[in-house]
A = this chain, B = another copy of it.
Amino acid sequence: MPDLTHGDDVAAVNSLRSAVMRLSRRLKHQRVDESLSPTEMSVLGTLARCGTATPGELARKEHVQPPSMTRIVALLEAKGLVRLEAHPDDRRQKVVTQTERAEAMLAESRKKRNAWLASLVDDLDEDEWAKLREAAPVLEKLAHL
């Protein structure tokens, strides 16, 4: 366990916070699909990982309030990217599943992301890349802690 009195840790968190906020703004602009917001994209990613989830679960995972998730899921459904079904055990809940169309779109967007990746690679050396790869899982953990 790190020593909290170390100024290095505080500096690291400050740097991390600032970088994440600024990077998130850049990512918002560099959308792989112009018609999908970052959170919509993130929800599809979560569904791809978890297979299926209720709106409430998605709201908790994406750290948005339930009404916001209602709207997001409705938009995704209107675009034919998710299906909404009745929950088998609890009639209050619903079950959200991604459609085949969403899978195709995710595959396509993966290709587009490679272009962004390529543009980044020019400015990072192998060592920097390695550090990012190492940290990615930790950031994921942080994000849903």
Contacts and interface: CB of A to CB of B under 8 A. Distances in A.
A139 B89 CA distance: 44
Copies per complex of this chain: 2
A2 B129 contact: yes
A129 B137 CA distance: 12
Contacts of A50: none
A23 interface: yes
A5 to B, nearest CB: 9
A140 B10 contact: no
B23 A139 contact: yes
A128 interface: yes
Given A9-B117, A21-B42, A145 B131 contact: no
B133 A134 contact: no
Contact of A22 (B12, B62, B122): B62
A18 B45 contact: yes
A98 to B, nearest CB: 15
A19 B132 contact: no
A26 interface: yes
A135 interface: yes
A35 interface: no
Contacts of A63: 22, 25-26, 29
